[in-house]
Each structure stands twice: as structure tokens, then as C-alpha cells.
Amino acid sequence: MAQQIADRRDQDFVLHEMLNVAQLSETEKFGDFNKKTIDMVLTEARKFAVNEILPTQKTGDEEGVKLENGQVKVPPSFHKPYKLFCENEWVAMADDPAVGGQGLPHTVSIACGELFTGANCAFLMYPGLTHGCGLIVATLGSDKQKELYLKKLYSGEWGGTMCLTEANAGTDVGALESIATPNDDGTYNIVGNKIFISGGDSDLVPNVIHPVLARIEGSPSGTRGISLFIVPKFWVNDDGSIGEDNDVVITGVEHKMGIHGNATCSIAFGSKGKCRGTLIGEKNKGMKAMFLMMNEARQGVAMQGHGFATTSYMNAVNYAKERIQSPNLLSMLEAEPKAVPIIQHPDVRRNLLIMKSYVDGMRSLLYFMGFCFDMVHTAEDEAIVDKYNGLIEIITPVAKSYGTDKGFEVCSLGIQVYGGYGFIEEYPQAQLLRDCKITAIYEGTNGVQGMDLLGRKLGMKKGKPMMDLMGEIQATIAQAKEAGLEDMAAKVEAALNKVGECAMAIGGAAMSEKILDAFGSATLFQECCGDLIMGWMHLWRAAVAQPKIEKAKKKDKAFYTGQVVTAKFFIEHMLPIGLGKMDAVKGLTGSIMEMPEDAFIG
């Protein structure tokens, strides 16, 4: 039977042959998770994703959400899988069992998350955002806040959101107008309006907990005066029971291009003057809390882009193997040439190979990020912890932006492989493209990710995270040379050196009078880093697979050969395009800022 959402053999390859994730069982934290246990967890996740979540993808898109008498109604098909999702403890897979988690290695939770996201991203956003809210409570909450909220969130019994955006304060969070006024009992009255709040309400849960950014009266303007508050839809009593209505009103749900099954809400807090919240974290330190939320969200959005892509790719491969049309070019001169599956046609195969190269490369990158988290949590040497924290920081903006841009490209190619059928809503590809587009926009547009990479991450700790990343790539180059892949290794090494030159050029310009020109090329620099990292991931894959081809069984021989050929395709056919982008970054064009504003009118 054809697979539908992700290639299990490839998941196993990344987990066990690239990352050797079972080595984590040698640590005290993950002692229960040997290879057999990890495989069992992944098998159960796949069964649940295919049997329970995937059937809701189309129905959820068609049914959408409704706002009735102030209550959001999610697609009816979501209720059963959500209940089972919570009962099976999938909400907090990598968190402490003492607070409702499974305690899985982060790498394994990423692999499970790929399956759930690929099955139906709109559905997964409800528990995903709930987990993000729980992470804030777990990290910044007082003992009382943890007692009241954490288990309810990590179990999925209650829902959670992130309430940052306002009509006049999107990317510029410091412009927000929501106000918090202190009460005598230590709570705060909250007044303000938020928009674009994913999962802002639902009938899946009896209560929704909102982390809300607001400014305490008298605090400084801009980002220096922002604080974070926990604001429940219904007040939570000291004994943990649900109390009175907390004046949190859903004023509308957005009608969107995609992810129709997830409620994107506008919310009024305190329109009747009766909304209360409690400060979480330090006063005026809401931006620090926001980045805690945003980093997990950005990594999650990278997975969303990948999830849409991997499902579109699997659909396209299955379709291309079954769709019979036109003769093979080599038989065109025969008297009566027979039509063949379209996967035999060179341009279709080219499209599939582009899709495969991005899907496989992003899977490796996302799992590697998960492994970095596991190293942070298990390493005893502070230098190692610092190194892997730095790798997470430098990779996050690239994974979010590159993963979602290329995810959208893969979904577009997925339609192309289907031809006219791909453009028809009866088939699955159109929805995946519609749903994927938002990933390049929310949790910081991809342009913002480029600014983050250039403005914050590149020079972080005097450039150490960037140097550590380049060191990891150099180690893979050495491994590939030992495996007899000298030509591919040399090409990746050339790209590595050129990205280093780009970093010096654009980083220097960002600290000079050419700062605007530098940031005008920040997105392109980010793409260059993404191209390099994809080349690195494919070289790593090939270096692992190449020595195993000769002794492999027939099925594995094809798989390992496919790893090497995919790497060859990306490094020889796709990476040279990246080298051209690198030349453009080094050139640091001034045309972007030279363009007169009036000239855009035409």
C-alpha cells in the first residue's frame, strides 16, 4: 500500500543512520528510549495520523469554522481525533511525565510531529498552540500558575494561544495599545483588542488560556514597556475549577485562503471592563517571553511548511506511478508506442526530484534541530550545551524561512505533476498549496527571518554559532571524502567558503553607511544559507548511504542509491543556483534603496 504522508524508510534513515538517536538511551534522561521503543512510538504515531487525523484534512477544509453566539465551532470531524490525541498524550510528547508529557527525546517528537502535521496542519494547530502556551507557563510561571494551568494545558484538557498581534502592532510589537491596570489583589485588569489569533477559541475544550502582551499603565513606550499576562477565557479559581466569564469576547473569525479548519480570531479583552489576568514573568520583560514563544512557534512553522511539502510529494509520487499518459520518448518511433506512467517522462521526474530533494533535506534539518535540543538537555559539558544552543539559534530563522518558501514551491510542483487535475479541488494538491502559503507570513514573515539572521544571529557571541555551524558542515565534507564522494564534497566546500565570504561582506555592510543595502539583501543571504545547509544535509545523507550500497539487500540498495543520486542532483543541479545568489549578496546591490518610491506607481 502506498504511503500517504511521509516516507517511513526515510524517517528511520535520518533517526537511526544519520543521527543514531538511540544513543540517547545511554543518558539518564532518555534511558527508556532504545531503538525498539522509538520505532514503536513512531509506528503508533503513523497509525494515528493516517487513521484518525488524515481523514479530517479535506472535511475540515470544507466545513471550516463557525462563530455562533460568541462560541467558535470547529469542524465536527475534529472532535473525535482531538479527544484521542489528548488521551494518547501526544500534546506534550517531549515534556516531563510529571506534568503530563511523555518524556520523549525531542528528535523523536519531531518525527511524530511530521506525521501529525502532514496529516492535517489545521487540526494540529489547536494542540500545538496549546503546548506553546504550556511552555510559557512551565518556563516563566509562578508555582501557583503552574499548579493551575500546566497539566490542563499539557494534557490538552484546556486550550492555549499566543495573543501578540494588534491592528496597529503586527511585526512592530512595541506599538501595541493593550493596557494592564493593577488591582489590589495582585491581578490586572486587561483592556485591548487582538487580531489573527490562531486557535483563539474552540468547542474542543471548556476553557482557553491566553498569554496576552500588554503595557502596564505608566510603563515605558515601545518594547521596553511590554509585559505578559495569563488571561483565561473563564476565570480559574484557586482550587483549579472554572469560574465566571472573564470578559474575553470573540468578535470575529477570519475568512482565509487556507487552513480553514483552524479558527483565526479577533478577540476583545475587557470590552465590559471585567477582564482579569495575572502577570507571568517579570514586569516589562514581555519581549523576552515573546521570544520564548516565537522560537518554538518558528520551529513549528518550519515543520508546517515541511508537512505540507512531504504530503504533496507523496501524493505526486503515487499519482505519477499510476497515471498513464504518452509513450516513453525512447519508443516514440515505434509503430504503436504504448503510453507509460508519467514518472518515466524526464520533466515529470525532474519535478519529483526537486520535490524529493527539498523534502528529504528539510527532514534531515528539522530532525537535526531536534537532536540539538536533546544534546542541550543531556550534555554535561557546558561548552557542548552552549554550542548546541547556538546552533539552534542560528538555524531557526533559516529553517523557518527556507522550509516554508521551499515547502510552498514543493506544493506548487505537486500541482504541476497532477497537471489539470492538480488545479481541481476534488484532488488534494490545491488545498495543500493554499494551506501552505500562510507559513511564510505568520510568526514573523520570512523577510523578518532574514533581518533576524543578519541583525541578531550572525554576530551573536562574536560569530561563534555561525562558526560552529560551518564547523559541522566541514566535518561532513571530511566524512564524504572518506566515503569516496570527493567531487560532491568539493562542491559543497566551495559553497561553504562562498557563504563565509557573503557573511563577511553583508555583516560588514550592516555595520556601515550601507546598512540599508545590507538589509535589502538579508533575505537573499538567508536563502544562500538555506541552499548551503540543504547541500550539507544531502552530502551527509550520501556519506552515510554510499558505503552501504554494495552489501545492501535489493530494496535497501535502491534506497541507498537514491540517497546518493538525490544528493548528486541537488549539489550538481540546484546548488549552482545558490552560488549565483551568493555572488549577488557579495555584490551588495544599491538598486533596492536607490529606487524612487514614486517609480513604483508606474
Question: Active-site residues: which are they?
Answer: 443
All cell numbers assigned to 40 = 514503536
Phi and psi at 270, nearest 5°, equal 75, 30
All cell numbers assigned to 223 = 518594547
Phi and psi at 166, nearest 5°, equal -130, 165
Size of the chain in residues: 602
Query: In this structure, are residues 42 and 109 in contact, taking their beta carbons and an 8 Å threshold?
Result: no
Query: In this structure, are residues 203 and 266 in contact, taking their beta carbons and an 8 Å threshold?
Result: no
Look at residues 411, 188, 191 and name the one whose alpha carbon lies nearest to residue 306. 411
Look at residues 573, 542, 534, 575 and name the one whose alpha carbon lies nearest to residue 559. 542
Question: How many whole angstroms separate alpha carbon 560 and alpha carbon 510?
Answer: 43
All cell numbers assigned to 314 = 507523496
Look at residues 4, 112, 544, 119 and name the one whose alpha carbon lies nearest to residue 366. 112
Look at residues 53, 226, 34, 41 and name the one whose alpha carbon lies nearest to residue 124. 53
Contacts of 193 (CB under 8 A, 6+ apart): 166, 167, 177, 178, 251, 266, 267, 268, 269
Question: How many whole angstroms separate alpha carbon 270 and alpha carbon 251?
Answer: 12
**Side-chain-facing half-sphere of 208: CA atoms under 13 Å:** 27
Q: Are strands 159-160 and 208-216 parallel, antiparallel or unpaired?
A: parallel
Radius of gyration from C-alpha coordinates of the chain? 25
Question: How many whole angstroms separate alpha carbon 147 and alpha carbon 129?
Answer: 19
DSSP string, 92-118: TTTS-GGGT-----HHHHHHHHHHHHH
In one-letter notation, the amino acid at residue 197 is I
DSSP string, 314-371: HHHHHHHHH-EEEE-GGGTTSSSPPEEEGGGSHHHHHHHHHHHHHHHHHHHHHHHHHH
Question: How many whole angstroms separate alpha carbon 564 and alpha carbon 543?
Answer: 8
